[in-house]
Amino acid sequence: MEKALPPIPAKRYFTIGEVGDLCGVKPHVLRYWEQEFTQLRPMKRRGNRRYYQHHEVLMIRRIRDLLYDQGFTISGARNKMQEILQLEREKKRNGEVLLDGVEVIETTDFESDRSDDEAAGTASGSFSDRLLDLRRELFEIRSLLSLAH
């Protein structure tokens, strides 16, 4: 029976040991994958220590799924990752930023939630900031959900 991977904590950077624990792979495997998957580029600091960001942890989980669960070879997984990243770039270029299956949210829905102070004052900047924050959160949720499939 396969053990479920732990949730990814809300941190900015992860050490190679933490990523190994979060993704169920040993640090030497992660170092090898860095050579094989050019998309995987952790930041390196003092003493050549690696620091991974959240999106890289998600990428490693996707690579792990392709190799261990779906039975891809390294070469096949590399090609699949390139396809996935190309599709994501095309979606962003075409403005397809919504989650699959989610209907378009009209801005009037948000505006009705604003208080009278916001509607009367200079809330346009904070309103756009709220929309950008919401968009970032939705992308984060989409990334997490894509790992579940």
Give the predicted TM-score (pTM) of the model: 0.61
pLDDT, tens digit, 9 for 90 and up, residues 119-149: 444 444 577 777 778 888 887 787 777 766 5
Residue whose C-alpha is closest to residue 5's, from 18, 21, 17? 21
Q: How many domains does the chain have?
A: 2
pLDDT value at position 138?
A: 81
- Judgement on whether residues 33 and 89 belong to the same structural domain of the protein: yes
Mean pLDDT of the chain: 79
Cβ count within 10 A of residue 58: 18
35 in the same domain as 50: yes
**Whether residue 68 sits in one domain with residue 36:** yes
Domain check: are 106 and 78 in the same one? no
Domain that holds residue 6: 1-96
44 and 102 co-located in one domain: no
Mind listing the pLDDT tens digit for each residue in 78-129? 999 999 888 888 888 887 654 444 434 433 344 444 444 444 444 445 777 7
CB atoms within 10 A of CB 88: 14
Q: Are residues 109 and 62 in the same domain?
A: no
